[in-house]
C-alpha cells in the first residue's frame, strides 16, 4: 500500500512508538500525557494509512503484527534523531536545578557517589541527588512508577529477561548500561580460625554465615550456586547492607560475602581477611537501568555519562573496555 508521506501526521508515529514499547494502551497514554481514547484514535488513523492492523489485543495489553515489528526499529530511530536535532540544548548543567533519584546498595554508592558528587560540584552545582536504598533485585516496578530515575546494581535475571525480549522482537520499556564488573569474596575477621589456611568447600559450608539480602529473603545467589553443587551453608544472621555485614564479621566468627572492591571503603579493611570463594561464582555485572521514557531527556543523558565517568575513575580496569567520555 502506497503511503502519502506529505499528509502523514507524524504525531501518529510517536503514539505508535510508545504503544510498541509499552505493549499497553493505558501506559502509553500516560507516558504521552494524553488519554487512552486518544491513543486508540491515533492507532486507528495509522492503521488506515498503513493498511495494517498493527496491534491486536492480547490479555491486558496488545500484541504487534509482523508489519508493526518490522516498522518499529526504523520509526524509533527516526524519532530519536528528530528529538536530538530539534531539542539539542534543553539541559544546561551549569544552571540546572534538577533533582535525581538513584536507587543503589551501600557498597555501590560508596564507590560511585564520591566521583559523581565531584563531577556535579564542578559541572552542575545546582543539581541535587538523593540515593534511596535498593531493596530488590528487580527494580522495574520502581522505575515504572517513577519512584527513582535510575537503579544501579546486580540484576542478572532482569538483564537476561530484557535481552531475551529484545531478541524476540518484544517491546522493551527499559534501557541498561554496564558500569563495571565486580567480584564477590569470602570475608572474615583477622584471627578467624579459617584465616590461616586455604578455604575449602567443606570448611565454608560448615561455618556460620551472615547474609546480605536487600529483600530480607534468607537466601541469595551464593546459596543457588551451592544448591547446584548439592551443598548448603548455615545462615544465622541476615542484614540489608554490606557495610553492616563488614562491621559484624569484624568482631565475630561469622563469614560473609562482600564485593572485593568494597572492602577498602569500609574503613576497617585492616581488620578483615579476604579469601576466594571455594567454588566457581560468575563475575558480578553492575548495571544501570532506567525507563526508556527518560532515554532522550538531556538531563538524564548527563546523569548517565557522569555515572560512566565516575565508574571509570573508581574501577579503572573494570569498565569492559568502554570508551568513557571525558
Mind listing the pLDDT tens digit of every residue in the chain (326 residues)? 567 777 788 899 999 999 998 899 999 999 899 999 999 999 999 999 999 999 999 988 999 999 998 898 888 878 877 876 776 556 789 999 999 999 999 989 999 999 999 999 999 999 999 999 998 889 999 998 889 999 999 999 999 999 888 777 666 789 999 998 888 999 999 999 999 999 999 999 999 999 999 888 888 889 999 999 999 999 999 999 999 999 999 999 999 999 888 898 888 999 999 999 999 998 888 999 999 888 878 899 999 999 999 999 988 755 443 433 33
230 burial via Cβ count (<10 Å: 0-12, 13-18, 19+): exposed
Taking alpha carbons only, the member of 75, 73, 57 closest to residue 65 is 57
In eight-state DSSP terms, residue 60 is T
Going along the chain from its start, the domains and CATH numbers come out as 5-86 (1.10.10.10), 99-181+284-314 (3.40.190.10), 184-275 (3.40.190.10)
- 249 CB neighbour count, 10 Å cutoff: 26
Q: Which pLDDT score, from 0 to 100, does residue 217 have?
A: 85
* Ramachandran region, residue 8 (left: φ > 0; alpha: ψ -120 to 50; beta: rest): beta
* Rounded CA separation 176/160 (Å): 11
- 245 CB neighbour count, 10 Å cutoff: 25
Q: Which pLDDT score, from 0 to 100, does residue 13 have?
A: 93
Q: Which pLDDT score, from 0 to 100, does residue 319 have?
A: 43
DSSP structure string for 203-218: HHHHSEEEEE-SS--S
C-alpha cell at 42: 491515533
Taking alpha carbons only, the member of 14, 53, 49, 51 closest to residue 34 is 14
Bridge partners, residue 290, by sequence: 175
Taking alpha carbons only, the member of 165, 186, 163, 182 closest to residue 104 is 182
Q: Which pLDDT score, from 0 to 100, does residue 296 have?
A: 77
Q: What is the pTM of this model?
A: 0.71
> What separation in angstroms does the CA of 155 have from each of 90, 103, 135, 162, 177?
32, 13, 12, 11, 12
DSSP E strand boundaries for the chain: 55-58, 61-64, 99-104, 128-133, 150-153, 174-182, 184-189, 208-212, 234-239, 256-259, 272-275, 284-291
152 burial via Cβ count (<10 Å: 0-12, 13-18, 19+): buried
Amino acid at each position: 500500500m502506497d503511503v502519502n508521506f506529505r499528509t502523514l501526521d507524524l504525531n501518529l508515529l510517536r503514539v505508535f512508538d510508545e504503544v510498541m514499547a509499552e505493549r499497553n494502551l493505558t501506559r502509553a497514554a500516560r507516558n504521552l500525557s494524553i488519554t487512552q481514547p486518544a491513543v486508540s484514535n491515533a492507532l486507528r488513523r495509522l492503521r488506515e494509512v498503513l493498511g495494517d492492523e498493527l496491534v491486536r489485543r492480547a490479555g491486558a495489553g496488545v500484541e504487534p503484527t509482523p508489519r508493526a515489528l518490522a516498522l518499529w526499529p526504523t520509526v524509533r530511530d527516526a524519532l530519536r534523531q528528530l528529538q536530538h536535532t530539534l531539542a539539542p540544548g534543553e539541559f544546561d548543567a551549569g544552571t540546572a536545578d534538577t533533582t535525581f533519584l538513584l536507587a543503589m546498595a551501600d557498597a555501590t554508592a560508596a564507590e560511585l557517589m564520591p566521583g559523581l558528587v565531584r563531577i556535579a560540584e564542578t559541572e552542575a552545582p545546582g543539581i541535587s541527588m538523593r540515593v534511596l536504598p535498593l531493596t530488590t533485585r528487580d527494580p522495574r516496578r520502581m522505575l515504572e512508577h517513577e519512584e527513582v530515575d535510575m537503579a544501579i546494581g546486580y540484576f542478572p535475571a532482569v538483564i537476561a529477561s530484557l535481552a531475551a525480549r529484545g531478541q524476540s522482537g518484544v517491546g522493551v520499556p527499559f534501557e541498561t548500561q554496564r558500569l563495571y564488573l565486580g567480584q564477590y569474596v569470602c570475608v572474615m575477621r583477622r584471627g578467624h580460625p579459617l584465616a590461616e589456611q586455604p578455604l575449602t568447600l567443606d570448611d565454608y559450608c560448615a561455618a556460620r554465615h551472615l547474609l546480605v539480602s536487600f529483600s530480607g529473603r534468607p537466601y541469595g545467589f551464593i546459596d543457588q550456586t551451592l544448591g547446584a553443587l548439592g551443598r548448603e551453608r548455615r545462615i544465622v544472621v541476615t542484614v540489608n547492607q554490606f557495610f553492616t555485614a563488614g562491621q559484624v564479621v569484624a568482631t565475630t566468627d561469622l563469614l560473609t560475602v562482600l564485593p572485593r572492591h568494597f572492602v577498602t571503603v569500609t574503613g576497617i579493611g585492616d581488620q578483615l581477611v579476604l579469601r576466594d570463594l571455594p567454588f566457581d561464582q560468575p563475575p558480578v555485572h553492575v548495571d544501570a537501568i532506567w525507563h526508556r521514557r527518560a532515554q532522550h531527556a538531556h538531563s538524564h543523558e548527563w546523569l548517565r555519562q557522569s555515572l560512566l565517568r565516575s565508574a571509570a575513575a573508581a574501577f579503572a580496569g573494570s569498565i569492559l573496555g568502554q570508551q568513557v567520555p571525558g
